[in-house]
Structure 1
Amino acid sequence: MKTRAVLLLALVIAGAYAMFDEINAYNERRFEDLLQSMDVEFQSLVFTTPPIFGAPAKTWVIDDEYEVDQLLQFLQDYRVQKLKPEEITLQDDIEEFNIILKDGTGNTITIVVNENLIIQNSMLYYRIVDGPLDGDWIVRFIASNRS
C-alpha cells in the first residue's frame, strides 16, 4: 500500500512538473516559429540609426531579397519569449538601432538591437531569450547595407 502511495505521489509530482514545464515552453519558442505563425514573406529592410553627436537619425530602405534572407537566417538561431504588458519597458525618448522587416501588406517585425527586443506588427513584444544578439554580426550587416 505504501509503495502505491509513493508511486502515485511520484506520478503527481512528475505530472505537475511536466505541466509547469509545458506552460513555460509555450511562451518561449524559436524565432523561426514566430515567422511561420505570421505566414508572410518579407520583401524589404528598413534600417534606423540613432542620432549621433547632434547629427540627425538616419533611415534607409533595402529591397534586396538576399539581404532579407541573410537577416532571417541570422535570427533563426535565437529563441524568443513573449512579454506580458507589464514587462514592456520601452522609453520613447531614447533612440535605438532598429531593423524593420516589411512585407507587401504592411506586416512588420522590428528588431530593437540594443534592447534585444523583437516587436511584431507594433503590438506583440518578444525578448530574445538566448541573447544578446551578436553585435559584431549586426554591425557588419548594417555597415554592408548602408546607403
Structure 2
Amino acid sequence: MKMRAFLLIVILIGGCYTMIQSFNDYNEKQFTDLLNTMNPSFITALFTKPSTSGNTSETWHVDEHSEINSLLDFLQDYHIRKLKPEEINTSDETMQFSIQLQDEDGNTLSIIINENLIIQNSLLYYEVVDGPLDAEWLVHFFISNKL
C-alpha cells in the first residue's frame, strides 16, 4: 500500500512539473534564451529579398562571423514568445524579406522580417513581442551585406 501511494505521489509531482514547463514554454523570454537551446556559432546567413515584378526572389549568403554576430547582437535586445500550434499560419505564401542562419550541425533559425516571426528548425515558431524589428537597422544590414 505504501508503494502505491509513493508511486502516485511521484506521478503527481511529474505531472505538475510537466504542466508548469509546458505553461512556461509560451511565456515571453529573451531572444538569447532561444539561442541557448541551439549551437550559437552560426556559420552562414542566407538573405532572401522578394522580387517586385514576379521574377524569382534574390538571395545571397554571408559567411563572415563578424556580420552574423552583429545580427545576433541586434536581435538580443528583443523578446520573443513561442506560438501555440493554433496561432501558426503556415499558408502564407507571400514573399518576404528573410534571413536564415545555419549552424555547424545543420540547425536553422529563420527570421521573417515583415511578420516579426522567428522559426527554429522549421518546427518551432516564435513571435517578436516588443517589435516590430528596427527596419532602418535591418535595411542598412541588408545593403551592407549584399554582394
Answer whether TM exceeds 0.5 for this pair. Answer: yes
Show CA shifts across 1:46-93 (max 9, x none): 000111123320111110000000000000000000000100124342
Provide the rounded CA distance (Å) in 1 between the counterparts of 2:112 and 2:83.
Answer: 14
Matching residue of 1:7? none
Aligned residue number for residue 54 of structure 1: 54
Large movers: runs of 4+ above 6 Å: none
Number of aligned residue pairs: give it: 126
Q: Name the aligned partner's letter for residue 67 of structure 2.
A: E
What TM-score, normalized to structure 1?
Answer: 0.80
Cα RMSD (Å): 1.7
- Structure holding more helix per residue: 1
CA distance in 1, matches of 2:97, 2:142: 10
Aligned residue for 1:34, secondary structure, equals helix
Question: Which position in structure 2 is the counterpart of 1:116?
Answer: 116
Check conservation: 2:31, 2:75, Cα contact below 8 A.
yes
Instruction: In structure 1, list runs of 5 or more residues that go unmatched.
Output: 1-22
Secondary structure, aligned partner of 2:73: helix
Structure 2 length-normalised TM: 0.80
| Identical amino acids, percent of aligned pairs | 51
Alignment-mate amino acid for residue 43 of structure 1: I
Cα distance in 2 for residues equivalent to 1:90 and 1:25: 20
